A = this chain, B = another copy of it.
Amino acid sequence: MNPEAAAGAGQGDLARLRALVRQFVDERDWDQFHTPKNLSSALAVEAAELLEHFQWLHHGRIDELGADKLVQVRHEMADVLVYLVRLADKLDVDLMAAVEEKMVLNRAKYPADKVRGDARKYHEYKDA
């Protein structure tokens, strides 16, 4: 059994990714560059590279992308997730718990019966 598989055996997706990325970084001695600040910059850069594929599309639907672009989009999405998982590792953040916590806040900020079909930001509802 290789070390990567062993590291992730019996774990959830995100723990498995964390182990994969850790190993990749350690093999390259890149941890020295991975301050949370640098990682959040890298994450923003990858998110923009993803956005770049959509920026001139009229509607921005999947059928406007084409197969080649979709492969590139997949890879940019992978990069975003890799940096997010790495940042979570360095900040000791449990991403699943963070999403669950944030979804509770989101449910309170955007009550389904008030915001249905409307995408204005929550603060625009306060006085409505």
Question: Which residues of A pack against B, CB within 8 Å?
Answer: 12-14, 16-17, 20, 24, 27-30, 32-33, 35-38, 40-57, 59-62, 65, 70, 73-75, 77-82, 84, 87-88, 90-93, 95-96, 98-103, 105-107, 110, 112, 115-117, 119
CB distance from A3 to the nearest CB of B (A): 14
Q: Of B13, B52, B81, B116, which one neighbours A84 at CB under 8 angstroms? A: B81
Known: A27-B112, A84-B84, A103-B24. A45 touches B55 (CB 8 A): yes
Closest 4 CB pairs of A and B: A37-B60, A48-B48, A78-B102, A56-B119
- Chain B min CB distance to A37 (Å): 2
